[in-house]
Amino acid sequence: MEMTTAAAVEKQGYKLTKLGWIPEEWDVRKLDDVAEIHNHLRFPLSETVRKGMQGPYPYYGPTKAQDYLDHFRVEGKYVLIGEDGDHFLKFQTHPMTLLVDGQYNVNNHAHLIKGTESCETEWVYWFFNSRDLTNDITRQGAGRYKLTKDALKRLLLVVPPVAEQRAIINILNGLKIQEKVILALVKAKSTYKSGLMQQLLTGQLRFPEFQGQPWHEQRISSLITESRIPGSNGKAAKKLTVKLYGKGVLAKNERQIGSVNTKYYARKAGQFIYSKLDFLNGAFGLIPEELDGYESTLDLPTFDISPEVDASLLLAYFSREEFYARFADIAAGGRKAVRIGPEELLKKKILLPSLPEQQRIAAVLNACDQEIELLQAQLRQWQQQKKGLMQQLLTGQLRVPNSL
């Protein structure tokens, strides 16, 4: 049903409410009128106490299971919605509700909600799942927000007839299952690629045409050379950042302008770059064409790559935890404080096949990456479609014929 104007909606049997236009037979109610809050079932426990109570029953916070305990206090289906935290600000990308069932426990940072005869528990879950609650929360110090029980009771929600609620819930559950299927495909393909990469980069799996050809140990300094082309400063530079675990190189989005006293260096497309601070978290990448000419400080050292080595293969080699974890023993102060300088990287040796075999390996791994990227694009497209369909179903703009 296409609705372009308020008048058109009204003619089709809709009414204007505090939550916008909804079907005439739907209502807008306070949560306290159509659902029950069961916070008396909460079980606040410190991490220290929980260590002595380990078991099979989930111990939920507002967004996920925080632990597993040896007994349970809650049984059945409930909706969890956070009582405090900063996740309320992330409603566009993170769910605001969690649907739990079975036998489990809930900490004191989540409200427990159960539906009634007039409002299904899962309707509450879906209605508030992506809802902006920022107008209903209070500020509790720096970066701390709270949805009090009284504020929770006053939350307004749209309530269709129960039959229509159930029909909509079935559709939304189906969309959620489809999303999980795509997520599972992405995970499976990523796991397959990781295993394949390990075998190919260690010579456990060889292509027939290269069988019998030796690999040679090479010092990394013979493969890459640090680049220090003078650039601008912290105020003028277009800056780069490197994501963790080989997830790529991006333009840095800074909220504050940098200092004119900070020296920056120009970087070129195709160069290898890493983060000194996050070396042990796999912060490696190749600078893409669109970021040619961007800059970084020496905290993100950058290197020209020898034509005698395949750049994609070298990145794959460096991005394996088996490689970068070898550097953990050279730094003091724990993983978060570790900085790995170019001199430490360059003096290491690695075992590599001939350039043709490198290129063959890189082609296979790049094909895997393309398949993963295609699945991830499908997932993003599906999630966007799901979000739009959810909005239409939960407001009655799109009706389920068999439930009317």
pLDDT in tens, 214-262: 999 999 999 999 999 999 999 999 999 999 988 899 999 887 788 999 9
Based on the fold, state whether residues 131 and 229 are members of the same structural domain: no
138: left (phi over 0), alpha (psi -120 to 50) or beta: beta
CATH of the domain at 63: 3.90.220.20
On whether both 201 and 228 belong to a single domain, the answer is no
Q: Is the pLDDT of residue 336 over 80?
A: no
Question: Between 254 and 283, whose confidence is greater?
Answer: 283
Identify whether residues 34 and 109 lie together within a single domain.
Answer: yes
- The CA-atom distances, in angstroms, between 1 and each of 4, 396, 398 are 10, 10, 6
Would you put residue 360 in left (φ > 0), alpha (ψ -120 to 50) or beta?
alpha
The set of residues, in sequence order, having a beta carbon less than 8 Å from that of 134 and lying 6+ positions away, is: 88, 89, 91
Structural domains of the chain, count: 3
Say whether pLDDT at 206 is over 70: yes
Give the pLDDT band of residue 11 (cuts 50, 70, 90).
low
Q: Are residues 92 and 151 in the same domain?
A: yes
**For the chain, what percent of residues have pLDDT higher than 90?**
83
Check pLDDT > 50 for residue 38. Answer: yes
Any domain includes 99:
yes
Q: Provide the residue range defining the domain that includes 274.
A: 216-352
| Location of structure tokens 């990145």 | 315
Q: What percent of the chain has pLDDT over 70?
A: 94
Is 68 found in the same domain as 174? no
Regarding whether 336 and 238 lie in a shared domain, the answer is yes
pLDDT-based confidence at 331, cuts 50/70/90? Answer: low
Q: What is the pTM of this model?
A: 0.77
Q: Which two three-digit tokens encode residue 46? A: 């410190």
Q: Which residue has the higher pLDDT, 7 or 68?
A: 68
pLDDT at 6 over 80: no
What is the model's pLDDT at position 2? 42
Are residues 253 and 175 part of one domain? Answer: no
Based on the fold, state whether residues 34 and 133 are members of the same structural domain.
yes
- Residue 74's Cβ-count burial label (10 Å; 0-12, 13-18, 19+) is buried
CB-CB contact of 153 with 37 (8 Å): yes
- Asked if 138 and 56 sit in the same domain, the reply is yes
- Residue 270, CA distances (Å) to 6, 179, 224, 253, 292 in order: 54, 35, 12, 21, 8
Clarify whether residues 182 and 125 are in a common domain. Answer: no
Q: Is the pLDDT of residue 9 over 60?
A: no
pLDDT at position 304, please? 98
Q: How far apart are CA 323 and CA 217, in angstroms?
A: 14
Query: Of 159, 193, 224, which one is at a domain's C-terminal end?
Result: 159
Contact 30, 153 (CB under 8 A): yes
Please indicate, yes or no, if residue 12 is contained in any of the structural domains: no
**Do 66 and 188 fall within a single domain?**
no
Q: Tell whether 50 and 152 lie within a shared domain.
A: yes
Is pLDDT of 283 > 50? Answer: yes
